[in-house]
Chains A and B, each alone.
Chain A
Amino acid sequence: MSTTQLLDHSALKFNQISIITFTLLGFILNQPILPAFAAAVLIAGSINKKFALFKLTYAHIVKPLGLLKPNIVEDSTAPHEFAQLLGGIVLGIGSLLLYTWQPLFGWIFAWIVILLAAANLFLGFCAGCFVYYQLGKLGVPGFRTQSQ
């Protein structure tokens, strides 16, 4: 069952920008440590909000400096947490492949995350939400709540 609370959508945007930046820079400079770092931040942030480094950077640096205007909305937290964990897992698998014997497949996984984050940021299409909705439609437990 999901909970509703006040969410700053600019923090989510900054999270996506950070994922794209780290992973894309990792690809351009051929530095697997960068996507691996982004994956670690996403997974750790899903487990405990204290470790959500990108969101903390937004809260303590980006927002006070006025680089992004806060956009606070009362919203369901579950799909966002699900999307973040999904992104972290895919990027984590990619990073493992980069460090083992399959760098090509590793970068393919990394690019999937870059493109899906970009689709959300620039086209308004949230892949995590798509998966969440489809699972809800199939009646998978934990993915369907009562209408309000």
Chain B
Amino acid sequence: MTQTILQRVFLSTEIFLAFVLVVKSYSTYNEWKVRLQSRKKRLPVTVETGKPILLYFWTSDCAQCKPQERQIERAQAILQQSGKTLKIQKFDALEEHVLAKLMNVMTVPTTVLLNSHGNVTTWNPGLTPADTIVKQYLAIQ
């Protein structure tokens, strides 16, 4: 009985680890895909370039967009304390479908950080914490 339980605990741990590995690999693959795509194709004129910018994709019916907005506001406040400004551009993923396709938006919210040359540096599907946004922004400074 105890042995069976232990076996199932180990199996559960293995399943969790395998899942995290698959999710991280898939996410990394997609990030590279978006980076390549954004270099090959020209960004729509609606996207501001020249300075690092965070593209934030949302929809009015999105479950995690309000919490995401709070995280973005927090990230802006953290960066402001050290005299830095995080520029944000908000896009409705269903309305701006051409840009959403170019940025491989699979779910909302999705945040994409562009460097000053307009190249994608990071691609975050789903709810992204403020600390992660800050870290990603500081890495391209």
Comparing B39-47, B78-86, B112-120, B121-129, the segment that makes contact with chain A is B121-129
Instruction: Count residues of A near B (Cβ-Cβ below 8 Å).
Output: 38
Given A28-B9, A147-B95, are A129 and B107 also a contact pair (CB < 8 Å)?
A: yes
Q: Across the interface, do B61 and A115 meet the contact criterion of CB distance under 8 Å?
A: no
One digit per residue, 1 when the CB lies within 8 angstroms of any chain B CB and 0 when it does not, for chain A 109-148 equals 0010001001100011110111011101100000111111
Interface residues of B in 54-113 (CB under 8 A from A): 59-64, 66-67, 70, 92-95, 97, 106-108
Q: Across the interface, do B94 and A136 meet the contact criterion of CB distance under 8 Å?
A: yes
What would be 30 A-B contacts, judged by CB atoms less than 8 Å apart? A2-B61, A27-B12, A28-B5, A28-B8, A28-B12, A73-B67, A75-B67, A76-B63, A79-B62, A80-B63, A111-B15, A115-B19, A118-B19, A119-B23, A123-B23, A123-B126, A124-B128, A124-B129, A125-B107, A126-B126, A126-B127, A133-B59, A133-B62, A133-B108, A136-B61, A136-B94, A144-B61, A145-B61, A147-B59, A148-B60
